[in-house]
Structure formats: C-alpha cells, structure tokens
Structure 1
C-alpha cells in the first residue's frame, strides 16, 4: 500500500511546518499498517496555475500527479488562513480538475479506487469549513472519502500558539489521527479487493 501526503503549507523547506507535524502523526499510523509514505511540500515546487495536468516547460505538477496516481491513499494537509485552505491547496485542487475528464484504459476515471483524507492546522477557527472544501473537491474529482478521514488542530478564534508551540489538544488530535489512518487504510484495502467498476449495469427496469 502506498500513500502520498501533499503538504500545502506556505512555508518552504526547511522551515518548520505545523501542518507537516500533524500530518506525520497520520503517516505514523499508516506506516504501522505497512503503508509506504511519500510526503511532498508543494510550495517547494513550481506548480503553475491552470486546470490542465501539464502546463508545459518548468511545470512540476506532472511529477506530483504521477505520485498521487501511483498511490492508493492521498492525504491533503493544509493550514487555515482567514478561515480558508491555503492558496497552495486551492491551486492543487485546480490542477486536479483535469482528472475529472481523464480515464484509465477501461474507462474508469483516474482518481477512482483511491481514498483521501484531510489534515488541517491553524491558530484560528474554520477547520470544519476547510475540511469540507477539500473533501468536497476531492470527492468530486473521484476520490473516496471514508468516514472520519480527517483530523484538525487549532486554538480557536484569534491569535495564539501554533501546534508545535503547545501540547494543548494534542492527545485528542492524535487519537483522531490514528483513527483516520485506520479508516483510510481499511477503505483502500476494500477498494483494492472490490474496485468501483468503470460502468454499472443496472439491468432491466
């Protein structure tokens, strides 16, 4: 089993990322289940604006897209800014828009039979809104979103410490992250054994 984590932090490497720290808790849970993990910090790459899978010379998205499609599990991790996903996360979804019309040889949409979950951090409220936006977009593109396939951490409205600055709420967040990992893995196994077909024969009316 393979999983790709797309970290949509605005902080370039090697700057410390709170979002990466929480995503790593999910990754640890997946590793315990035997999953191979690849984490990509999108801000470190040249992802051109657009809604195509390949925007031409200098565009790094095609390689990232290949990593996603070579994995059964996708985890999108994003900070919260003014109550919304990061601009990097929005650009990721815009580039994935091309997958809506891309199919495998059997006619199955390329994102089908893959599962996805969401990790959100931030020192302000809005996590559920961010989870809904990312999950809704991924589901429309074709990913399966299991129950409890998300985890978030924040300090509530207003300024305050970041995830790595405090232990506040970590026990609960880590518990949820572990459950998220198990649900992602279980659903990925189920889809591998019983994939969504390219078409459904509804039979006679």
Structure 2
C-alpha cells in the first residue's frame, strides 16, 4: 500500500538519534474486509508503520479477518471444542513484540466485531506470567488507530486503550489517532479527493502517537521493576477465606 511520509515526518526520522533497532511492533488491522480488498484502516496504520520502519523498528501488519480465529477466552480454543483456531500463532507474535497497535473501523459508533474478538483473545492470555512473576503484557506498549465515516473515534479509542491497559499494556501520552469524513456516505481515508491522506490533524496525531509509542517502548525495554506487582508472590499467600476481608 502506497504511503508517502511528509516533509516534517522525514525530517524527524533523519534527525533521530535514538536507537530503536531492538524493538518489534505488531499492527493488528481489525477491518471487516478480507485481503486483497483495500482497507482504509490499514492505510492510516501504514503511516505509523512507515515511521517505525524508518527508525529501524521491525514491524508486522496482521489482518485479523484473514485468519480463522475462534471465539472464546482461552489461549487455544481447539482445546475447547473448536476444530480450528489460528489465534495462538498471532498471540505468539504479539508476545514477541514490544509495541502493539490495534486498528479498527467504526460501525454503529463502536469498534468492529473483529476488534472485539482480538481483545477477547488477548484477554485469554492475560494470566500468563513473565520471568519476574508479573503479568506478561507488563513492559509492552499499546496504541490504536480508528477510521470511519461516522462519529466515534474517541469512544472507540477509550474502549481499546482501557482494555489494553487493563491487560497490562502501558499507554503513552496521546496514544490514539483517527480519521472520519463527513457523517454518512462519502470519501474514506484513502479516497482522492476528499479523503484523509492530506488531513493535517490526522497526520499530526498519527505521527505523535507513533513517536510516543517508540519512546515509551524504548524506556520499558527492560520491563517494569518487579516489586508490589508480582502475581507469583501474591499466590504464595494462603488465605483461609477465598474472599478475605482486609482491615
């Protein structure tokens, strides 16, 4: 997909002195369109991806709907009655990444059903612990991209970013970006003319989001300090009552 960075984006890339080359980013595109149909959500996500790649971050774009993903909140749903579940392979790539960006179109004012499915499957793995005994998403950074032709960028972003931080992801400042055209039928993000490719507000927010994700991921590469947040230590405490009353 063709995506040209503008003059200031290129300038910031060229002037960057921080080494991001040890970072990996995964972009989960939760469009409802299967490949090779054009995805406007992917179009905007690609801008963020290009900035990261220009700063030597390895990236991977995954269109979730191209895979057979089972519904459920267990790590591998083939162990729970489903014949096929390709999520475990996607989850492996997510766990290897330092940065996760979820992209979703807006439908009826909400994130897509595919985005909901992706969040549920991420949640299914939220109980996994890292080598420090913390939840395994600790030290990873999350953001989101939203597109559509109706209101809802902030609503969908609030939902996605809350979900990610609840699972253990760290959310930097201004960790979302989006584009919507006029309400109702009209040009989509990639359409010329009238689309969002030349929208300065969207381009600026996507650029800021991307740099904030990179900066925070670099700072957290060594992970969170392991004190006061270790599930493994918490579980060693035996309570006589499964729901103790703390005084």
Whether these two folds match at TM > 0.5 is yes
Partner of 1:53: 75
8 Å CA contact 2:33–2:39 kept in 1: the answer is yes
Partner of 1:180: 209
Q: Considering only CA atoms, is the larger Rg found in Structure 1 or Structure 2?
A: 2
Q: Unmatched 5+ residue regions in structure 2?
A: 1-22, 230-247
Q: Unmatched 5+ residue regions in structure 1?
A: none
Partner of 1:62: 88
8 Å CA contact 1:108–1:197 kept in 2: the answer is no
> Structure 1 residue 31: deviation in Å?
1.2
Moved over 3 A (4+): none
- What is the rounded CA distance, in whole Å, between the counterparts of 2:60 and 2:151 in structure 1? 29
- What is the rounded CA distance, in whole Å, between the counterparts of 1:88 and 1:13 in structure 2? 14
- What is the rounded CA distance, in whole Å, between the counterparts of 1:94 and 1:46 in structure 2? 15
Bigger mean CA deviation after superposition, 159-168 or 117-126: 159-168
> Structure 1 residue 185: deviation in Å?
0.3
- What is the rounded CA distance, in whole Å, between the counterparts of 1:23 and 1:140 in structure 2? 23
Partner of 1:75: 101
- What is the rounded CA distance, in whole Å, between the counterparts of 2:104 and 2:47 in structure 1? 14
Partner of 2:183: 157
Structure 2 counterpart SS, 1:130? helix
TM-score computed with the length of structure 2 as normaliser: 0.78
The CA deviation string for residues 27-71 of structure 1, in whole angstroms up to 9 with x for no partner, is 111112211110000000011000011111420000000000000
- Residues matched between the structures, number: 200
Note if 1:122 corresponds to 2:151: no
8 Å CA contact 2:181–2:195 kept in 1: the answer is no
Q: Larger relative CO (CA 8 A, sep 6+): 1 or 2?
A: 1
CA-based RMSD = 1.4
Partner of 1:191: 220
8 Å CA contact 2:177–2:202 kept in 1: the answer is yes
Residue of structure 2 aligned with 1:18, choices 2, 20, 40: 40
Note if 1:145 corresponds to 2:171: yes
Partner of 1:101: 127
- What is the rounded CA distance, in whole Å, between the counterparts of 1:197 and 1:99 in structure 2? 21
